[in-house]
Amino acid sequence: MKFDLEVGLTGEMVAEVQPEHTARSLGSGGVDVLATPMLVALMEGAAKDTVQPGLPEGWTTVGTRVDICHLAATPVGMKVSAKATLSEVDGRRLVFTVEAHDDHEKIGEGSHERFIVSTERFENKARSKAGK
């Protein structure tokens, strides 16, 4: 299967930090700032959205690796923008450079890897683990 993806593609995801996105709310810390798991979700979402238009119907990507640094805290109410740039295509393995900024500064950077999968085959395999 051939996929229409080229190194250099970029995508972005923007969100406003809500109380349910905080480290305190998610249990990943004891402060009311953007939780690292939410930062990762924004970066993954940006990467997914970057390549999804280049995939045939019935195909998607799944995250397989995340290596980021969460550099600065972002309070509730502030917007965060996560950007993903496709930096490597190796068959069905995709590597992205990711970074995120709030209204004041860079708050995160790193790399993220995704793998192209057949949605139906992937979901069937996952369901089979549960005996369904």
Catalytic-residue membership of 36: yes
Tell me how far apart the alpha carbons of residues 127 and 132 are, in angstroms, rounded to a whole number: 5
Catalytic-residue membership of 70: yes
Query: What is the chain's length?
Result: 132
Q: Which of 12, 36, 97, 119 is catalytic?
A: 36
Helices (H), the chain: 23-26, 36-51, 119-129
Q: Which of 21, 44, 61, 74 is catalytic?
A: 44
Q: Which of 21, 70, 101, 112 is catalytic?
A: 70
Q: Which of 77, 76, 88 is nearest to 114 (CA)?
A: 88
Cβ atoms 98, 81 nearer than 8 A: no
Catalytic-residue membership of 123: no
42 alpha carbon, distance to own chain's centre = 5
- The residues that are catalytic are 36, 44, 70
